Amino acid sequence: MGDKLQRFYRGMRTIRRFEEMAIELYKEGLIGGSYHSYIGQEAVAVGVCSALRNDDYITTTYRGRGQHLAKGADPYKLFAELLGRVDGYCKGKGGPMHITDVQTGILGANGIVGAGVPISVGAALSAQMSGIDRVSVAFFGDGAINQGAVSEALNLAAVWCLPVILVCENNLYSEMTPFHRSVKNKDLVERAAGFCMPGIIVDGNDVEAVFETTSAAVERARRGEGPTMIEAKTYRLQGHMFGDSEMYRSKEEVAAWRGKDPLDRLKRKLLEQGLATESLLAEWDRELTSKLEQAVASARLSPEPGPEAIYADVY
């Protein structure tokens, strides 16, 4: 497990640094639209995606760079996409909210709340019909739980016994609304029982727990035993999007969750178990930061798409 924990840490740290650097690019005015940071939720992306194969599928939300990196996406192509450049995953026409890379099984981030869930269920159906033991994971937020399309997709996943894992990242807020104001359930995973599928709650800030829980759900799906819903309890440490004034939550609440930062938690564990030293952690940081800086520098040099690209790849 030692190697694995080290890998988890580097993966989570890469996501954190990527997001910090992306916010700097956003402040420079280089990223169009809004930027929804994934900071604070890194353990979910890394824990879940580490339980997957390269050929498994995922769908994510507008907050999806964490999952993209954890699934093996190239930071250069991600940064180029954020900057709207031709070398980006969607040739600069997707931006931060719509990154797709079929090669790594990323069937799309999505700006429409809940919209990735039926896509993921459809991908699971394709795996089942083709007789390939691939699984599909849908990442969605607590705010997506009341979307009609999500209920329809959960129902079909259960009825057809599809190899899909429904990962609800409950970060407590849907934009500015706390989830308990829009849902009567204490735990969102209670919904799983209504569709006759197992539902498991996991501490979304504990990467090992997320990995173990997902691995069991993945094995079950590969055995042909159908879907599992996982509710990963976590917290977004930044506003809903860059510039959010965060009037809807107290500084004390945010500070309390900062104390549960998934990266700090894993760092403490690595140090306690002798799996890292402060100097090794600093070396990893220098290495991954330098790789990300090179990716940004190259992405800045990639050209913007020309007007002739407007109608290409459009359906």
19 sits in which H/E element: helix 2-27
Q: What is the C-alpha to C-alpha distance for residues 220 and 217, in angstroms, rounded to an integer? A: 5
Stretch that binds ligand TPP, among 92-100, 108-116, 255-263, 264-272 (CB under 6 A): 108-116
What does the DSSP 8-state code read for residue 101?
B
* Interface residue with ligand TPP, options 14, 50, 61, 214 (CB under 6 A): 61
60 binds ligand TPP (CB under 6 A): no
63 binds ligand TPP (CB under 6 A): yes
- State which residue, 87 or 142, has the beta carbon closest to ligand TPP: 142
- State which residue, 173 or 257, has the beta carbon closest to ligand TPP: 173
88 CB neighbour count, 10 Å cutoff: 23
Contact letters for ligand TPP, residues 230-249 (x by CB under 6 A): ----------x---------
Q: What is the C-alpha to C-alpha distance for residues 90 and 95, in angstroms, rounded to an integer? A: 8
Cα angle for residues 98, 68, 217 (degrees, 5° grid): 115
- 273 Cβ partners below 8 Å, 6+ apart? 2, 5
118 binds ligand TPP (CB under 6 A): no
- State which residue, 63 or 85, has the beta carbon closest to ligand TPP: 63
Contact letters for ligand TPP, residues 159-188 (x by CB under 6 A): ------------x-xxx-------------
Q: What is the C-alpha to C-alpha distance for residues 136 and 126, in angstroms, rounded to an integer? A: 10
- State which residue, 246 or 285, has the beta carbon closest to ligand TPP: 246
- State which residue, 149 or 275, has the beta carbon closest to ligand TPP: 149
Specify the residue for token string 């069991």: 216
- Give 112-154 as a DSSP string: STTTHHHHHHHHHHHHHHHT----EEEEEEGGGGG-HHHHHHH
- State which residue, 63 or 77, has the beta carbon closest to ligand TPP: 63
Stretch that binds ligand TPP, among 83-91, 95-103, 140-148, 223-231 (CB under 6 A): 140-148
Beta carbon of residue 62, minimum distance to ligand TPP (angstroms, whole number): 7
Q: Report strand pairing: 177-178 vs 173-174.
A: antiparallel
Q: Report helix, strand or coil for 289.
A: helix
Beta carbon of residue 89, minimum distance to ligand TPP (angstroms, whole number): 20
* Interface residue with ligand TPP, options 69, 78, 144, 154 (CB under 6 A): 144
Closest residue by Cα to residue 100 from 126, 128, 67, 129: 67
Contact letters for ligand TPP, residues 189-228 (x by CB under 6 A): ----------------------------------------
Q: Which residues contact ligand TPP (rule: CB under 6 A)?
A: 61, 63, 111-113, 141-144, 171, 173-175, 240
